[in-house]
Amino acid sequence: MKLSCKLRILVMLAVTGLAVGVSAQAIPERRDPTLAASLEPLRSGVTEEHVFAEMASHNELRSASLLDYTALRTYQVVDPKGKVHAEESGRMEYHAPDKKTFIVTSEKGSGLIRHLALSPLIASEIEAASGKQHHDSSITPANYSLHLLGEQQVGPYRCFVAQADPKRLDKYLFEGRIWIDIQDFAIVRIEGHPAKKLSFWIERADFVREYQKIEEFWVPRRDETFVQVRLYGRKVLTIDHQDYTVNGTSNRLVLQTSAGSF
């Protein structure tokens, strides 16, 4: 439930924006067909406190159960017309409790953008996993207030929808909406922007993160970050997460029997 690495993407793009100019033409927002369903009333008996508590307990069980995974990652920086300025692909490997490695398999486009934005972004995620960067950005009562708005079908997942408001102005926190799976109390989708302005150069920043369920684990599926850079217009960074191989422990049985109470 941490987003500090996700928000650091925006900082990296501020640097990229200084190096490569792009048109001021707007990038059209991507319409997600999984959100076609309308927002429905919240079922009775659900409170913000209960949702927070269930999220924490289920997340702890999943974290304890996850042994390792590998996934194909593709990072792209794209201009407003859809042209790819830089791309880096490779295999991300995770081994419990805190080791990540990234093995590059292909690189395309601007070496400068890859050097200034993509490579530092990957390195920061690896450092965060090892605990070298201590920024508490988890979605907990210490950092956020939740306001439940209703329920919505997001693809195959039935979700609670909530407004998440940060309790302090912090560039590692966000303001926006979250979708929480009703059974697993896992984050399915986040839409938002940083709680605090990131830099002089970034006038606006919006991001969407989507998750997917692989066996009983919830892992990222796609990240999309739109940034308005002063003097250089808009840029978009995407990260696609594919071809997961996930291994867990015997805690799976606990997860299956402790799924949501609704």
Cα separation, 212 vs 130, in Å, equals 24
Preceding amide of 120 cis, omega within 30: no
Are 244 and 214 within 8 A, CB to CB?
yes
Reported as a single tens digit per residue, the pLDDT across 103-139 is 999 999 999 888 888 888 898 888 877 776 666 789 9
Do the Cβ atoms of 217 and 247 come closer than 8 Å?
no
Given a cut of 80, is residue 204 above it in pLDDT? no
Helix (H, G, I), strand (E, B) or coil at 205: strand
Task: Please tell me the predicted confidence (pLDDT) of residue 19.
Answer: 34
Mean per-residue pLDDT for 56-77?
94
CA distance 192 to 164: 9
Q: Write the CA distances from 23 to 3, 20, 83, integer angstroms.
A: 29, 10, 11
Predicted confidence (pLDDT) per residue in 151-169, tens digit:
999 999 999 999 999 999 9
Paired tokens of 249: 């422990």
With a cut of 80, say whether residue 36 has pLDDT above it.
no
Alpha-carbon span 132 to 129, nearest angstrom: 8
Q: Which residues face 89 on adjacent strands?
A: 74, 106
